[in-house]
Structure 1
Amino acid sequence: MNELLTIGEITSAYGINGEIKVLPLTNAPERFYDLSFVYISNNQCITKHCIENIRLLKNSVIIKFKNINNRNDAEKLRGCLIKIDEKDAIALKKDEYFIKDLINMDVYLEDGNFFGKIIEVIQTGANDVYVVKTNDRSILLPAIKQVIKKVNVDENKMIIHLLEGL
């Protein structure tokens, strides 16, 4: 099996017929329409579920799985993550990266000095925010062109320009 990518988190059951409500963890929620199955992870095991129906609802995705037919079964999935094979991931645009590729990335200042490591990516809507662990604290860096100067996933390296006040 290829590496799995997380694309959503199940937040609740939806209705009484086994549908679930999903918080999309992707910039393209419409990408769910291209899927015939997903993997559901609950930290203990990963199970494959075939999709019967999908629809977008405001900031959520509503999914009906073929084997989940009532609210009680759907409710058991609350908090689980929806994952897909990496080979099924959508193509990234220029200057877009998978979160998994950014976590633990080494961050350097423009002068070449080591700054820290990315420990978390916060998705805010306007732009992502990278949480960088330095020697003595965590710094929040906005993922904007004025701050992020270069990202090299192959070398696991990011070069940044610290704006005044950061």
Structure 2
Amino acid sequence: MAEHSVVNEDLVTVGRLTAVYGVRGWVKVHSFTEPMENILQFSRWWLQDPGAKGQGKWQPLEIDAGKRHGKGLVVHIKGVDDRDVAAQYCQRDIAVAGSEMPQLDDGEYYWHQLQGLQVVSQFEGRECRFGEVVRLMETGANDVMVVRGGDDGRERLIPYLPGEFITDVDLDAGVITVIWDPEF
């Protein structure tokens, strides 16, 4: 791994190195991509600097092999053939350049684009500010936005169902408009 780290706002977190696998430099990967194997298609990975949690510092990471293993993925870090050395890379996030992310159709968004947006409800002619999207969850039936803060400081779980509860997503304004009862 290179000695330097970079600070780059254009990076998107796409997974995490979790644990060593075997004794020859392989590590397990928890992929946030769908399907999980898509993480292997990115040409350049960045690994979170271990001393810079939350500060956006990343180091380049070269992978020379990757494959599905059981229900997950494993990758080999280039130049690392020792379990103890590989362990130093674990429990760190993986990011890729936002420019490498596939283009989406109109009306489709990546989760990272929705996080941090303000959520406003237009319910029965009243406007209520619910706060910001702090994260999204996959529930099986549909994705759910976890929204916190706003006028009453509550946390709300709002199904991400465009056309039903989600009426507008305006990335430029940083606002998601929903139809959701403030009492719920």
**TM bucket normalised to smaller:** 0.7 to 0.9
* Residues 1:87 and 2:85 aligned together: no
Q: Which of 151-160 and 119-128 deviates more?
A: 119-128
Larger radius of gyration: 2
- What pairs up with 1:1-166 in 2 under 5 angstroms? 3-41=10-48, 42=50, 44=52, 45-110=57-122, 111=125, 113=127, 114-133=129-148, 134=150, 135-145=152-162, 146-162=164-180, 166=184
Aligned residues: 166
Bigger drift between 77-86 and 132-141 goes to 132-141
CA contact (8 A) 2:119 2:177 kept: yes
Q: Among the aligned pairs, what percent are the same residue?
A: 23
Cα deviation 1:74-107 (Å, max 9, x = unaligned): 2222210011111111222444322332122111
Runs of 4+ in 1 over 6 A off after TM superposition: none
Displacement of 1:60 in angstroms is: 2.2
Q: Deviation string for 1:6-36 (max 9, x for gaps)?
A: 0001111111111111111122323233233
Per-residue deviation at 1:58?
4.6
Unpaired runs of at least 5, structure 1: none
In 2, the alpha carbon distance for the partners of 1:52 and 1:159 equals 44
Q: Which moved more, 1:30-39 or 1:69-78?
A: 30-39
SS at structure 2 position matched to 1:31? helix
Give a deviation string over 1:100-144, Cα, whole Å, max 9, x none. 321221111134613322122223454322111133211111212
Normalising by structure 1, what TM-score?
0.85
Runs of 5+ unmatched residues, structure 2: 1-7
TM-score using structure 2 length: 0.78
